Amino acid sequence: MGGQGGAGAGSGAGASSSDEPWPVRVVSQKIGAWVARLGWVWVDGQVAQISRRPGASTVFLTLRDPSAELSLTVTTNRDVLDSGAPELREGARIVVHAKPEFYAARGTLSLRADEVRQVGLGELLARLEKLKKLLAAEGLFDRARKRRPPFLPQRIGLITGRASAAERDVLTNARRRWPAVEFRTVNVAVQGPGAVPQILDALKVLDADPSIDVIILARGGGGIEDLLPFSDEALCRAVFACRTPVVSAIGHETDAPLVDYVADVRASTPTDAAKRVVPDLTEEVRLINQARHRLHRAVHNLVDRESHRIDALRSRPVLARPQVMVEQRAADLAALRQRADRCLTHRLAAADDDLRHTLARLRALSPAATLDRGYAIVQRADGHVVRAAGEVDPGDPLRVRLADGELAATVRSAAPANTGAPVTSDAPVTSDTP
């Protein structure tokens, strides 16, 4: 058997193929060798199960990851467990110094621990504070990325424990405030080893539901160890990645798991979450009635004010008797026409008087008027008017103009101006009326 095993191991040194496959023992040996190379490691986890057999010195623990559905079996000596964690219970967080071992006979992997430490409250708080700083540095607590839930959500997703006080508080208070509100409740474990994976699955399902407008994550009060699932890093990152606004309602006012800092809204209690998510129907009806009353009063005042303005406009003379404006303009036009007529008549009369006076003066100064009084105009042949006897010589022809006709004369003699003798002339009488 030993020779065959050695030959098998030696033949397994090369690559396996369909013609030369490795035996199961060879594969087991190789797996065991690879696992052994990991050496001693420190492992952090949550105790899911403790198995102490009476009279046996070996204790079996089931250690699981708080954030995933993964677990490993840990074997240790009773004395090692009693010295490091004498009051260890299921659900507690521990740190073990162990070496991975592969059992070829059963094909299982387990951890053999030589030291077990129960994580104390101080160490848990230190870890949470370190994780809190890490998440804050990555921006998971940033207020700028927090979303505001809708004023009246169509449907609310609720993640809480089955038949828990938190579930009752949320449903009762929300329906009391808004009776028509709809819920999709997903019951999960809210503490213990399976809490985080179940909450992650529920969060994924509700976030993928398009009818869900907001998600409430609710749990009643408890100790720090009880609330540890809600400070899990994987849960915090899942809440941050949700497209749907998340309201965290974990514990009481004094409780502050890390998911409170990541959630879009932090409620102090599940009851407070119900008040934050849905409005109060009674209060909204009161506000609507108040707004309607204010609107009615504003419209009434506006109509009343405009009615007074219309009445004031209608009471003005121009609107009470619109024809007054036309009549006034007609009267003004008639008065202007009368003034124009009087002015034109006066100016025509004055012009007529001026013309008559001018005509009278013209007639008074006219030579024809002088001739009508018996005078005559004596002109020489060149047309020069003779004003003195010395201006003509005997024998000069003259033209004598009378009021009616004219005479042609010849000068026979001319007396001096001081003698008073008339100028004589022989002239035939001719009738040449101008």
| Per-residue pLDDT at 430 | 45
| Per-residue pLDDT at 342 | 93
- What pTM does this model have? 0.53
Q: Quick one: residue 140, left, alpha or beta (phi over 0 = left, psi -120 to 50 = alpha)?
A: alpha
Distance CA(386)–CA(278), nearest Å, equals: 136
| Per-residue pLDDT at 123 | 66
CA distance to 59, 167, 168, 273, per residue, from 226 (Å): 25, 17, 20, 20
Relative to beta strand 41-52, strand 397-401 is: unpaired
Q: Return the beta strands (E) in 276-338 as ranges.
A: none
CA distance to 260, 325, 328, 329, 345, per residue, from 319 (Å): 72, 10, 14, 16, 39
| Per-residue pLDDT at 12 | 44
Identity of the residue numbered 333: L
| Per-residue pLDDT at 315 | 81
| Per-residue pLDDT at 424 | 53
Distance CA(164)–CA(171), nearest Å, equals: 11
pLDDT averaged per 10 residues in sequence order, the chain, 434 residues: 39 70 86 87 85 84 78 87 79 85 85 83 72 89 90 92 90 92 91 84 93 92 78 90 92 80 91 91 92 95 93 79 82 93 94 91 78 82 85 87 85 64 51 42
Distance of CA 44 to the CA centre of its chain: 51
Q: Are 247 and 217 in contact (CB under 8 A)?
A: yes
